[in-house]
A and B are shown apart, each in its own frame.
Chain A
């Protein structure tokens, strides 16, 4: 790696409408985690206890944008991260949560909270603490500008490692050969 930066790069990660599968895959880089912590330090991430994202070099976003809270978190990441990466199928194209996009939101909500077998007198929750869902689930690039995309459901550990080492070393990340997958 040429010209290592004098300080560790600060990295934040989060999952919006995702399953944390991409984060699990991130952990699949196994022993490279030791190399990674030599090169980066983590800001907001499930790996730390930091609640709000601060100024970072790299932000990794898993999951699509399905509700108001996702929008707030995503915007905070965009404001704070010099480089923002859509990580995994849901972030890249909406993925599984976006499969509800051809159904009206009201139908989804009623099905879940009112008509599901076993539910009696169910109501759609209206607690102001809960984020409201958007009418459609959106890939992150439809809500903020995204710098890089790393597809896969989830992207494999080696793909994530290749991508990150490219970035950290100052190379434009490329995924080819067997590392690029949409499934």
Chain B
């Protein structure tokens, strides 16, 4: 430990040179939310849930190296209000119908909705048209829930070495595609054992079979909040 510190909501947090605000905060037991960030991958910075105010400027905590002496605001009504707004945006742009989703209770988007007391999607729903892909024997793709974190894209490309997934389109028409001319997952070399099959924070990449083996009410975020769970994971690692 180098002894360098910044202030997070008034509390001193130690960090090592090059460490991001988010990593340093979580190591020190302070939760900054995220959806697209993953400890085994470089920062992505797309979901913006980790937005904090550092030295008066809005930055992504996952992509901004901590700096000595910085004052960082994170768990404040203002920042949490912005996070709630970002969650509302993610909910209205896709089709997130929790009662029918196998991922309900294990879904990070949903858990963050609870954490930041999102009671309403607030805006007009876009109700986009996103057909599911059930072609693969072991995996179902339900694109309705995609939040474009690219974790599957990155895991498949950088770890599995397969590049099964990619994003195409632009802006609000951006969408996930698979590596096959047919557009079907069955025509790729995707396997249920790939890292990419286990990394989706929401309910896009679903394993056929388990379904509701763990009943609603007994799932990851039914008992503990995502804040508690992520900090526990951090401690254990």
Contact = CB atoms under 8 A, between A and B. Distances in A.
Contacts, number: 70
> Which of A89, A99, A178 is most buried by chain B, counting CB atoms within 10 A of its CB?
A178
Interface stretch (B14-22, B48-56, B112-120, B151-159): B112-120
A171 to B, nearest CB: 14
12 contacts: A89-B97, A89-B99, A93-B97, A93-B121, A93-B125, A96-B97, A98-B97, A101-B127, A139-B121, A142-B125, A153-B99, A180-B114
Which 4 A-B pairs give the minimum distances between C-beta atoms? A182-B98, A149-B120, A153-B99, A149-B119
Contacts of A136: 127
A174 B116 CA distance: 11
Interface in B101-118: 101, 104-105, 110, 113-114, 117
Interface of A: 86, 89, 92-96, 98-99, 101-102, 136, 139, 141-142, 146, 148-151, 153, 174-178, 180-183
Contact of B222 (A102, A146, A153, A178): A178
Nearest to B95: A102
Interface residues of B, number: 26
Contacts of B105: 183
Contacts of B124: 142
Contacts of A101: 127
Given A151-B119, A176-B117, A180-B117, A89 B127 contact: no
Contacts of B96: 93
A146 B121 CA distance: 12
